[in-house]
Amino acid sequence: MRNFLMDKFEDYNILHDDSVPTANYRIIGIGIDGSQNAHNALVWAAENIIRIDTDLIILVHVRSEAEYSIETESSSKGRSEKIISADIDFLKAIDKKIAIKAISLVGDARDEICNVAKAFKTDMLIVGSRGISPVKRLVYQCKFRLILGSTSDHLVHHAPCPVIVIREHDQQTIVS
């Protein structure tokens, strides 16, 4: 596995407001993957959590090793850039002063998002739920826990900060 701090961080957009020192930012990590659930989490964060003048938003997009090895590097990176750009545009439409750092990684989303949270000392993580019903989740956990797992479930149990999970259907929030 490559050193994620050296090889896998790709900065797409960083905006610093000189009137607010970086040390004073509240750092909020948001997991994105181009899905509707991830977008719902971003919208919820914009409506309920993000403070424009005092927050640094870290958008984290993780491509799986399998996905990365099947696609060419340029197409995989291009897809990441498209997902990240759309979410940056969404946030910038709210206010151009929002401080954003976008990171694209290759690896296991569960581990990489935790690594980013540790490296940046995030104050909270916000992610979308995959929307699996409780029965399916129980079956998946019993049968496939070692193979599949749930990114949001893993983050709730292993992230170094509070995690807010935005559920699919009713936009309910789960906080750990």
**Per-residue pLDDT tens digits for 162-176:** 999 998 755 455 555
- pLDDT greater than 80 at residue 55: yes
Residue 60 lies in domain: 4-175
- Using pLDDT thresholds of 50, 70 and 90, give the confidence band for residue 145: very low
Instruction: Provide mean pLDDT across the span 36-55.
Output: 94
Mean pLDDT of the chain: 77
Counting the structural domains of the chain, the total is: 1
Question: What does the pLDDT read at residue 14?
Answer: 39
Question: What does the pLDDT read at residue 86?
Answer: 94
Q: What's the rounded Cα separation, in Å, for the pair 113 and 116?
A: 5
- pLDDT greater than 50 at residue 62: yes
* CA atoms 158, 26, 126, 32: torsion sign: negative
Residue 25: what residue type? Y
Q: What is the pLDDT of residues 75-114, one digit of tens each?
A: 667 788 899 999 999 999 999 889 999 999 988 999 999 9
Contact 173, 166 (CB under 8 A): yes
What is each CA distance from 121 to 33, 85, 98, 113, in whole angstroms? Answer: 21, 24, 19, 12
pTM assigned to the model: 0.75
CATH code of residue 25:
3.40.50.620
